[in-house]
Structure 1
Amino acid sequence: MRKEIIVALAGSPNVGKSTLFNVLTGARQKVANWPGTTVERKEGIVEHGEYRIRIIDLPGTYSLTAKSIEEAIARNFIVYEKPDVTIVIVDALALEKSLYLALQVMELTDKVILVLNKMDLADRRGIHIHVKALEKRLGVPIVQTIAVKGVGVKDLVKKILELSIGEAPSKPYKLKYEGLDEYLAPLITSLKRTEILKQFSRKWVAIKILEGDRDIANTISKSGNSEILSIAVKVKDRIKEKTGLEAEVLIVSKRYDEITHILDGVVSYEKVSSEIFTSKIDSLIMHSIFGIPMMFLIFGIMFLIVFSINIGFPLNLIFSSLGLTEWALIIEEYSLSSLLEGFFGYLGVQIANALTFLNTPSWLISLIVDGVIAGIGTVLSFFPLIFLAFLFLGALEDSGYLARAAYISDRILRRISLSGKAFVPLIFGLGCNVPAVLATRILENENERKLTAILAPLIP
């Protein structure tokens, strides 16, 4: 019987986590939901010699402060399930931002492997990372990968085995939060008098309270120690008075200060021609004036292609308005939906003729032809639309434009309690509600997914 190793796969959205998970596990995957939630849970198996590695793909999250269900799931799995190894994937193109999550994971467990993904793109853009120096400063093993090409996957599996059996050294860097001790002291003193949340360090709990961690606050409140939360309010007021910053902002800035210190001398940059070209494109699509028109143009082209291929609309209307009625009819006739409808119509007629020849009762013929076959045809007619929509979404996400479009539209959508990323499913709502609702899966927050799914069908 193989020895089982439990591995948690953590990472921020868009770092290549899902790609690496698929490359590692192949077809040996099981998809379900995390208990009591609608958040998808993926598990995969890798067999290597006498070992059976079970990999759990944690929800993509930027932080481990439980303000959303995804953040709570990721953190609670690491703390309570105690995986043998936790892999944190970081984007070599955005190392500073990616390390923000990695350092928080390293606060909770010593069994950490850091995966530097997209190393080929980093080299192309003139970003040079001195991996050995970074490994020494962070105190954890680092594996370089190019997930889309499967590069580095064998090295990662080997490192998982070494770390799980104690052959690979791992002494993770712990965040110091310099300058916060005077503010944390009253909270730490109060927490030491209680038995709650003993699995965490008192300093870590104090920081999470100040960050507004809902899980921690609820646990303290239910334990009858509400006075700790009252002390936290006073500490927050003191921080605001002395620094002019909210407690949460100050804590985040302290983390980034430490990340900057860690990366000092570890990352070097070189100007390359492709980077200059990319910067020019970035400046155009992120422009304060031209950014939004560019976004509507890009999504408009996507909308035009997806729906024209599937149902002929709105290309048929464009051709009709130009007086090209014959071409408009051809586009409608040879759209994927029309072809599927024609196929199932033909199939229904042939089966009806065959059943009539066999003296089948008319009610049974109607049930099979008008019910089963027509029903399957109707359901399958949505497939090309959904497939094409997600194909384009994947292309936009891989190109990095989806994150930029979310940033551009964030300011507008914040007014209705949505993030900029909700723009994508809302855009699909202009054409069809089915891909619009399905596209809400790209949103990390469950409440945001629900609100967007409710709003999408209301788009005219």
Structure 2
Amino acid sequence: MSRECKQAPRDVRAATCKCHLTPSLVVKQECSIVAALAGAPNVGKTSLFNTLTGRAERVANWTGVTVDLKTAVVPYDNQRLCIVDLPGTYGLSGSGPEEQVARDFLIHQKPDVIIALADATNLEKTLYLPLEVAEYSGNTIIALTKIDAAEAKGIKIDVEGLSRDLGIPVVATSSLRGLGLDTLQETIVKVASRPGKPLHIDYGDLEEYIAKLEELLRSECKSTRDGLTRWLAVRLLEGLDWAPRIVEELCGEAAKRVIEEAERLRDEYRRRTGKDPGQHAVAARYRMVEKLVEKHVVKRPARDSSLTKVDVLLLHPIAGPVLSLLLLLGAFLLVFTLNTGFPLNMILDALGFSEAAALLEEYSIAGILGMIFGHIADIIRGSVRPEWLASLLADGIVSGVGLVLSFTPLIAFVYAVFGALEDTGLAPRIAVAFDRFLRKFGVGGKAIFPAIMGLGCNVPAVTAARIIESSRERLVTILAVPLIPCQARLVVILAFTAAFFAEHGPLVTAVVALSMYAVAYAVFLLTTWILSKLLGNEVNEEYFIELPPLQKPSWKVIWWYVRSSVEHFLVRAGTIILVLSIVTWFATSYTPVLAPTDDPGESIAASVGKALAPLIEIVFDVSHDIAWRLGFGFVQGLAAKEVFLEALAMTAPEGIPKTSPEEAISYLNLTPAQAYAVLLAVTLYMPCVATLATIYSEVRNGKLTAAILAYTLSLATLLAFAARVVLQMLLA
């Protein structure tokens, strides 16, 4: 008799029980989702089971240590996951007791999800079983175990590419370091709710016979599903001694006809080809393993792991962070200069080379794309009628597509840099250099990468958080990164300091500009600390990591990083950015009564700005006439921060010169205290809809995305009000 798997009490993470194979397993009724762990002996299955469930089962390198089915109930996301530890087995085709127990459980108990394990350090020998499992069920997840050990040995695996070729989820995990466990649990829930298709393995000249037997199974055995009919047809043609028993259980009286036809087809195949169908099928699976490993795995020879001169410098408590920061800033300078010209264009302009700065910006990748899409938009405006349709196409859709594509090369370059840093072994050393400091604020050393990339653009900074292994640390970093001043906010900072602080001298102007960055980074760290507490992101006092040897980067590995990041951005964030771009166009092109307008002051966005005017009057101590213009600017600034200046210029009274941003906003007549408060608010609230869309694409949680938007707006409002009051008191 089976014993119930009872839910764990509060102080115990999981409860376990022995589950015997009965026609209706009690555990199926007790749990929201049943997930079976299948893997070869010594692949790390029992270790993964223990880590996932909190069990302290003894881990031993003996075949059959898990013959008894142990099950643990794990609460996750308001669901109860039953993790069933199947016997260790090298495949599903054998006739041994372990294979029979595992096979019978999968066929008769029908788990919602099957987690098939493969050792990342030895995929050539351990990927065979996961292929067999995936061929049986579309509810399969492949978990690559010991991923940390693989990377330490110089083995790189293109996890997303492997998943794409197989058509099933692949998750990299490490039981020792707890890597990938949250992702695995999340994937279990997704696969249980949205099953995929079984893996299709090409068996070459055996396919003709598989199709005939599959058709017979489908017509004679009504209880078999589509995936199972092909799987069973292959096993019958292989001549496996247990396959007829499965047919008898599923087909009843028709079983005899099916078994006889399978024997006839086997004999016909042998006579026709001179090959044994069983050996041919096994060889086909191993060929697929070889092709997958050759395509998605890069191995390098082991190198001397002793400390090098680079290690001595980067791991030094003082020199390490300084050199690491310089390295990251150098990478940042290269990436953003190629894409937008920033910050090299500003450096050239400050040195007096204005023409060179303009050319660099104009012929950067973003500049060229901007010219192309601007030309397309002009053609549409001149040739499409009616005007509202031309405006929608040119200013909404084409502008949105151009925005998405302008971010694409930036994402690609950022991940090319990350890929190179990871593959050379520099990234872990940089993470170690900053880890002790950042860990005080609830995140690990790898948070430094998005924190620096955010200076150029928050969109790639948000996606850069994917390099952080811990899901909670990754989430904390994603939600805090929008507080870091990007290039667009720097444009506003420079314009405001020139317009309202230049008369006080260059020192005051520089202090005001630099203080924006100091406040933003201080708030960033405070936010990571608060979020880490709220989300329960407990971090260890020390950071333990096995540093991989320093080596030359592999172009193949760098390409994996680039391809994965670009696909992820275009599929997830790109669509959302395009939709929000159209919404922004509508809000600035139509009045509240849905009449088209060319006057921004009459648009829906301006109406929202006017609705915000009473609050803005209080926060910045300005007149209503100035408040609604600032409100319109803040609303427009959600499209892109540099548009904040454009919005203020568009609503300027007649006669105001607009030859430069400083002149265009001078009509506001803000005091230093008011100007500083406005600038602080612009620096801290959500940078743009593209960043908001990217955050949602990463966290896939609308409430959380809305919460971080509300948080940045509230924080910007409160700090701006406080700064204005304090400065007015000090300057009085």
TM-score w.r.t. the length of structure 2 is: 0.33
CA distance 1:221–1:74, change in 2 (3 Å): closer
| Whole-angstrom CA distance in 2 between matches of 1:204 and 1:164 | 20
| Whole-angstrom CA distance in 2 between matches of 1:55 and 1:219 | 25
Query: Post-superposition shift, 1:236?
Result: 3.1
Query: Post-superposition shift, 1:175?
Result: 1.8
- Post-superposition Cα deviations, 1:84-105, rounded to whole Å, max 9, x if no partner, equal 2221111112213322111221
Residue of structure 1 aligned with 2:284, choices 236, 254, 263 = 254
Residue of structure 2 aligned with 1:194, choices 220, 224, 246 = 220
Query: Post-superposition shift, 1:171?
Result: 4.9
| Whole-angstrom CA distance in 2 between matches of 1:158 and 1:189 | 36
1:11 aligns with 2:39: yes
* Contact preservation (8 Å) 1:4, 1:53: yes
Instruction: Specify the alignment match of 2:239 in structure 1.
Output: 212
1:145 aligns with 2:173: yes
> Does 1 or 2 have the higher relative contact order (CA < 8 Å, sep 6+)?
1
Matches within 5 A, 1:121-160: 121-160=149-188
* Contact preservation (8 Å) 2:136, 2:231: no
Matches within 5 A, 1:20-419: 20-27=48-55, 39-65=67-93, 67-166=95-194, 170-171=196-197, 173-188=199-214, 190-195=216-221, 198-199=224-225, 201-220=228-247, 223-224=252-253, 225-273=255-303
* Contact preservation (8 Å) 1:138, 1:173: yes
* Contact preservation (8 Å) 2:143, 2:170: yes
Q: Report the aligned-residue RMSD.
A: 3.1
Query: Post-superposition shift, 1:214?
Result: 3.1
| Whole-angstrom CA distance in 2 between matches of 1:106 and 1:73 | 18
Query: Post-superposition shift, 1:196?
Result: 6.6
Query: Post-superposition shift, 1:6?
Result: 1.2
CA distance 1:27–1:230, change in 2 (3 Å): closer
| Whole-angstrom CA distance in 2 between matches of 1:226 and 1:78 | 24
Amino acid at match of 2:130: A
* Contact preservation (8 Å) 1:92, 1:118: yes
CA distance 1:219–1:10, change in 2 (3 Å): closer
Query: Post-superposition shift, 1:219?
Result: 4.5
Q: Which has the higher strand share?
A: 1
Amino acid at match of 1:198: T
TM-score w.r.t. the length of structure 1 is: 0.51
Instruction: Specify the alignment match of 1:353 in structure 2.
Output: none
CA distance 1:109–1:274, change in 2 (3 Å): farther
| Whole-angstrom CA distance in 2 between matches of 1:221 and 1:111 | 24
The total of aligned residue pairs comes to 266
Q: What residue ranges of structure 1 are gaps of 5+ in the alignment?
A: 30-37, 276-460
Amino acid at match of 1:268: V
Query: Post-superposition shift, 1:170?
Result: 4.6
Q: What residue ranges of structure 2 are gaps of 5+ in the alignment?
A: 1-6, 8-29, 58-65, 306-732
| Whole-angstrom CA distance in 1 between matches of 2:192 and 2:207 | 34
Identity of aligned residues (%): 35
* Contact preservation (8 Å) 1:3, 1:50: no
SS in structure 2 at match of 1:271? coil
SS in structure 2 at match of 1:180? helix
Query: Post-superposition shift, 1:41?
Result: 1.1
CA distance 1:235–1:134, change in 2 (3 Å): same
CA distance 1:197–1:63, change in 2 (3 Å): farther
Query: Post-superposition shift, 1:267?
Result: 1.2
* Contact preservation (8 Å) 1:196, 1:220: no
* Contact preservation (8 Å) 1:28, 1:45: no
| Whole-angstrom CA distance in 1 between matches of 2:186 and 2:142 | 13
| Whole-angstrom CA distance in 2 between matches of 1:170 and 1:196 | 21
CA distance 1:28–1:245, change in 2 (3 Å): same
Amino acid at match of 2:200: K
CA distance 1:196–1:213, change in 2 (3 Å): farther
